[in-house]
Structure 1
Amino acid sequence: MINQLGLFRVIIVLIIIGYGLKATLKPGMLQLQALAVLSLIISSHFNRKDHVLLNNLGLNRPGYFILFYILIVSPFLILYLLWPDFIAVLMLIAGIIVVSLITQPIHFQPKFSLPAFHFLPADAWEWRVGLRRNIWLFLIAYLLPVLFFRFDYIFPASILLIALITNSFLVNHEPMVMIEALMVSGKRFFVRKLMIQCALFLTLSVPLAVVSLILFPESIRPLILVLVNSLIVQVFAVSLKYAGYHPGHQNPFHMALVAPLNFAFIIPVFLPLPLIMSLVFGPKAIRQLNKIIG
């Protein structure tokens, strides 16, 4: 993965992560940091593909995962103990114990049918599939501001979550026949996809921004900063997808490149980066589409 990303992008990712850790090394912020670390552990645990291997080795047991994950987060545990912030310690340990008890893959099959979103444009196929697959994450993104409306930062955080979810819609590359059916040039197709991605993202995020401005008018600057940065990253995500478009393929490194740019607002010097990347990859996307469409 490091070779695929390139040294420059790896350095950017590490700087953003390091700055994020530094920004949360404040009283009251360590618990949010612990929650972020725990979310990474949970995501990794439920997406692992080693069930058969660990079963054969006799390691697919809660005790193994508890020990393994505690070793991974031990630097954070030591930090929280020395600070001290025992709530953050308990959050990490309790979360690890609970998630480690689940050793078998979970296959959730709802007994009710999810909406098909037929009202969306026919060429918004990523959104139709993405909304169905991630409808619970969107509900969480809207539920968090309802539960924690007293905190002004929860609204930008929810917008950021929506941005990350919608970025993930572009990981899979559609079959060539879906593009050919539209009978348009590569440039027109690319512009159309940009408009769909940005318009639907704004449709989901602007209501949160409006409520935030009503409740916390003094937080307009950071809110607009997050919203505009996330919107530009949407443009880059579309550009990146079609710059390396391969019909029917999946780009496993798409989110590794796109997700960190959603946090560019944290470091002022990186603010222009999403726009620069969009300007670089946009023309490449048009050339790639024109080449494939012919």
Structure 2
Amino acid sequence: MFLAVFAIASAFTLSPELLGLVLFLLLFSLHTFRNDKAFLKILPIRRYLLYCVEYHLIASPFYLQFLLHQQWIISLIAFATISLIPFVDIRLNSKRSFFTRIHFIPSEAFEWKSGIRKQGLLIAILYLIALSLYQYPYVALVGIVIFTLISTTFYNEDEPQQMVGVFQLSPRPFLFRKWKMQLLLFWTGCIPLMLIYLFANPAYWYILPVLILLSSVIQILSINLKYSFYAPGASMDKSIFIVIYVLSLFVPFFVPVPLVMMFNYQRKAVTNLKAYLDDSY
């Protein structure tokens, strides 16, 4: 996996400009979807300063990479644009939604139904932008990365215990079924973006399977993370963890981190789910 990501970093598709764009979009998505904004507003703290410190710490490996390659202008632009992110106040989790009927998604994938009702408009806008800018090979790849991050937010809320036990599966088959449904829905939706990239960039076809692998690892990790801390009806914003893991994919020395954490949280999820699922199924 290390060599595969190194190949991506060596290709023009991960130029300093693209890395800067990916960094900004990921942090912007994190800020948009974080669920603790209302809570922080009631605390006597400087929210802007808190957000800035968090986002610049996450971006620090990128800053270091830009500076080591003497990308002074990109470093300044990245720092300035990220400093502006805390001023953005977009509320996308309204109870009203344009996506009230989602029959094409199986009832089993209730996380997707809930997530699309809340964020469907944003997803649709980003998808249309990605399709309209098909002539730029970067856009499809960045789109897949952003959609990966968005889909992981679908697993921030824990369902009631009855919904966990309805399949009558032991913990490992239960997790496998969750992984299978997540990857099936996600990559089916990304087929147009993958085709656009292949048509626009046939010489760099090998980047796509690497991205598919890494994106799938992040998605499986988000599910494992959810059920490692699962408690019926609880809610936990895990976006910050996922963003850190996603960003680590673009720093070669940290590439193994998401894979290691995926297996680590799988073990913890199996242990935690034994309290809610009959292991004798």
Q: Give 1:149's aligned residue.
A: 134
- The structure-2 alpha-carbon separation of the partners of 1:249 and 1:128, relative to structure 1 and needing over 3 Å to count, comes to same
Pick which of 196-205 and 284-293 moved more. 284-293
Q: Give 1:203's aligned residue.
A: 188
Q: Give 2:268's aligned residue.
A: 284
Letter in 2 for 1:39: F
Write out aligned runs for 1:209-228 (5 A).
Answer: 209-228=194-213
Between the aligned residues of both structures, percent identity stands at: 24
* 3-state DSSP of counterpart to 2:205: helix
- The structure-2 alpha-carbon separation of the partners of 1:222 and 1:265, relative to structure 1 and needing over 3 Å to count, comes to farther
Q: Give 1:243's aligned residue.
A: 228
Q: Deviations over 1:18-50 (max 9, x none)?
A: x9xxxx995x66984895599379739997436
Contact 2:217 2:259 in 1 (8 A): yes
- In the TM superposition, residue 157 of structure 1 has moved relative to its aligned partner by 0.4
Q: Give 1:165's aligned residue.
A: 150
Of 206, 211, 215, 1:230 maps to 215
The 2-side partners of 1:38 and 1:284 are apart by 28
The 2-side partners of 1:121 and 1:52 are apart by 39
Aligned length: 250
Q: Deviations over 1:81-127 (max 9, x none)?
A: xx668x959x959x78xx68x8x9899676x7524223322221111
* 3-state DSSP of counterpart to 1:249: coil
Letter in 2 for 1:266: F
The 1-side partners of 2:29 and 2:174 are apart by 36
Q: Greater RCO between the two (CA within 8 Å, min separation 6)?
A: 2
Q: Deviations over 1:234-287 (max 9, x none)?
A: 1111111112211111122x2222222223331233333222222222132122
Contact 1:38 1:92 in 2 (8 A): no
- In the TM superposition, residue 168 of structure 1 has moved relative to its aligned partner by 0.6
Pick which of 34-43 and 273-282 moved more. 34-43
RMSD: 4.4
Q: Give TM-score, length-normalised by structure 2.
A: 0.69
Stretches of structure 1 that go unaligned for 5 or more consecutive residues are 1-18, 55-64
- In the TM superposition, residue 176 of structure 1 has moved relative to its aligned partner by 0.6
The 2-side partners of 1:116 and 1:137 are apart by 17
Larger radius of gyration: 1
Pick which of 280-289 and 180-189 moved more. 180-189
Q: Give TM-score, length-normalised by structure 1.
A: 0.66
Q: Give 1:39's aligned residue.
A: 28
The 1-side partners of 2:93 and 2:187 are apart by 32
Write out aligned runs for 1:184-195 (5 A).
Answer: 184-195=169-180
